[in-house]
Amino acid sequence: MDIFYGTWPWYVSGFLIGSVMLLLVYFGKTFGMSSNLRTMCTILGAGKTSDFFRFDWKAQRWNLAVVLGAMLGGFIAVTYLSDPNVPTVMLNPTTVTELQQMHIDAPDGKLIPDALSSADAIQSPKVLAILLIGGLLVGFGTRYAGGCTSGHAITGLSNLQLPSLIAVIGFFIGGLLMSWILLPLILK
Amino acid sequence: MKFIKYILVGLLFGIVLTKSEAVSWYRIYEMFHFQSFHMFGIIGTAVFVGVIGLQLFKRSKLKDIDGQPIILADKEKGFTRYLIGGLLFGLGWGLVGTCPGPIFILIGAGFWGIGIVLIGALLGTYLYGLLKNKLPH
């Protein structure tokens, strides 16, 4: 059972993620998680101030059901499909050393560093600002690009869409810039 | 009841992304530093399965669950919005390590701090809606 409780191999995970996309296509829908952010803005009343949010959000209820399932999935995975005795998030030792120099704690089975998400950490204005600005970039960028990892990298590339390839190249330019240049400055 | 199948697909997605650790900040950092093949393997396999699956769907003229022909709309042509929007998203992804799917999955898994990322993402989406007509696309 260690294989099941530990880190699922990339080929199993990739196969299942591809299958999720195909299942949604079979259901007559398109896999895309960032669209839900727009739907939620509409539900919260954003249509009063911007046309972009005036659309029939009820047609997107199926996608909100996917979100609900995904949240339940996250809960089930950490609660029932994990075992503290089975090592997870085994990183390259170089990565761990690099992170320690930026005051980021080693994973030791955690998915997210305490330095960025523990109850103590999020009381620091700096960490709050990191999470909020990071979220802002994710929300703004995905809507500007018309999709995220699921809509462009998985669905778009699978459907051989050039715009999606451009977007994915953009994702990587942004991610490399952040991870190599800005992040060390921010976390110093 | 018609939403059950979507909840189940979401459930599978949430479990796989958590157990593969694609929701992990550490895995995203490691990916951008090319220190492991794991994330590239996941995305590469998903796209590989996706390309073959969609080709099979098209060539076999498979109908969807309601008997309608399967049509995947082409993405609108363009360059600026994809590159700049993509780049801005990439900056956020590299910083907080979460794309939109994992934001929801992690909150479900009990990482409440990610709720702040969600608030940011909703604000960012709203901001885009306000500025949309002024931005180059």
Asked, for residue A61, whether it belongs to a domain, the answer is: yes
For residue range A9-54, what is the model confidence (pLDDT) as tens digits?
999 999 999 999 999 999 999 999 999 999 999 999 999 999 999 9
CB contact under 8 A, A77 and B15: yes
> Do residues A111 and B21 make contact, with C-beta atoms less than 8 angstroms apart?
yes
CB contact under 8 A, B82 and A172: no
Instruction: Give the Cα separation of A41 and A89 in Å (integer).
Output: 34
Categorize the per-residue pLDDT at A136 as very low, low, confident or very high, splitting at 50, 70 and 90: very high
Asked, for residue A26, whether it belongs to a domain, the answer is: yes
Average pLDDT over residues B33-46: 98
Q: Does A1 score more than 80 pLDDT?
A: no
Average pLDDT over residues B32-38: 97
Q: What part of B 92-131 touches A (C-beta under 8 Å)?
A: 92-101, 103-114, 116-130
Query: Which three-class secondary structure string do you get for A162-186?
Result: HHHHHHHHHHHHHHHHHHHHHHHHH
Interface mutation vs chain A, best among B12, B95, B111, B133, most A CBs within 10 Å: B95
CB contact under 8 A, A174 and B85: no
> Do residues B46 and A108 make contact, with C-beta atoms less than 8 angstroms apart?
no
Q: Does A106 score more than 80 pLDDT?
A: yes
Range of lowest pLDDT (A81-85, A110-114, A151-155): A81-85
> In chain B, pLDDT over 70 holds for what percent of residues?
99
CB contact under 8 A, A140 and B9: no
Asked, for residue A95, whether it belongs to a domain, the answer is: no
Query: Domain spans of chain B?
Result: 1-35+74-134
Asked, for residue A185, whether it belongs to a domain, the answer is: no
CB contact under 8 A, B116 and A92: no
Q: Does A188 score more than 90 pLDDT?
A: no
- Closest Cα partner for B42 from A173, A159, A12? A12
Give how far A132 is from chain B: nearest CA, Å. 5
Distance of CA A136 to the CA centre of its chain: 13
Task: Check residue A3 and give its pLDDT.
Answer: 79
How far apart, in Å, are the Cα atoms of A112 and each of A13, A59, A121, A169, B110?
19, 34, 12, 25, 11
Average pLDDT over residues B29-52: 98
Size of interface A-B (CB pairs under 8 A): 510
User: What is the residue-averaged pLDDT of chain A?
Assistant: 96
Average pLDDT over residues B42-46: 98
Categorize the per-residue pLDDT at B2 as very low, low, confident or very high, splitting at 50, 70 and 90: confident
Instruction: Give the Cα separation of B61 and A6 in Å (integer).
Output: 39
Q: Which residue has the higher pLDDT, B102 or B2?
A: B102
User: How many domains in chain A?
Assistant: 1
Average pLDDT over residues B50-56: 97
Of all residues in chain B, the one with the smallest CA distance to A120 is B113
Distance of CA A53 to the CA centre of its chain: 23
Q: Can you give the residue range of the structural domain that contains A11? A: 1-86
Task: Check residue A34 and give its pLDDT.
Answer: 97
**Which of B24, B93, B109 shows the shortest C-beta gap to A175?**
B93
Per-residue b/e over A99-129, b at no fewer than 16 CB within 10 Å? beeeebebbeebbbbebbbbeebbeeeebee
Interface mutation vs chain A, best among B48, B89, B104, most A CBs within 10 Å: B89
Q: A63 phi and psi, to 5 degrees?
A: -70, -35
Instruction: Give the Cα separation of A54 and B6 in Å (integer).
Output: 24
Mapped onto helix, strand or coil, the DSSP state of residue A137 is helix
Instruction: Give the Cα separation of A99 and B112 in Å (integer).
Output: 23
Task: Check residue A113 and give its pLDDT.
Answer: 97
Mapped onto helix, strand or coil, the DSSP state of residue B74 is coil
> In chain A, pLDDT over 70 holds for what percent of residues?
99
> Do residues A41 and B126 make contact, with C-beta atoms less than 8 angstroms apart?
yes
- Closest Cα partner for A69 from A100, A104, A23, A109? A23
Instruction: Give the Cα separation of B22 and A164 in Å (integer).
Output: 20
Q: Does A149 score more than 90 pLDDT?
A: yes
CB contact under 8 A, A36 and B14: no
Is B41 an 8 Å CB contact of chain A? yes
Categorize the per-residue pLDDT at A140 as very low, low, confident or very high, splitting at 50, 70 and 90: very high
Instruction: Give the Cα separation of B44 and B65 in Å (integer).
Output: 27
Q: What part of B 4-23 touches A (C-beta under 8 Å)?
A: 5-23
Close Cβ partners of B120 (under 8 Å, ≥ 6 residues apart):
A131, A132, A133, A134, A135, A136, A137, A138, A139
Categorize the per-residue pLDDT at A134 as very low, low, confident or very high, splitting at 50, 70 and 90: very high
Interface mutation vs chain B, best among A12, A111, A186, most B CBs within 10 Å: A111
- Closest Cα partner for A144 from B133, B103, B102? B133
Give how far A175 is from chain B: nearest CA, Å. 4
Instruction: Give the Cα separation of A66 and A46 in Å (integer).
Output: 22
Average pLDDT over residues A62-77: 98
For this complex, say whether ipTM is above 0.90. yes
Asked, for residue A12, whether it belongs to a domain, the answer is: yes
* Token reading at A124: 């620091």
For residue range B60-113, what is the model confidence (pLDDT) as tens digits?
999 999 999 998 999 999 999 999 999 999 999 999 999 999 999 999 999 999
Q: Which residues of B touch A118 (CB under 8 A)?
A: 113
- The size of chain B, in residues, is 137
Q: Does A2 score more than 90 pLDDT?
A: no
Asked, for residue A165, whether it belongs to a domain, the answer is: no
Global pTM reads 0.97
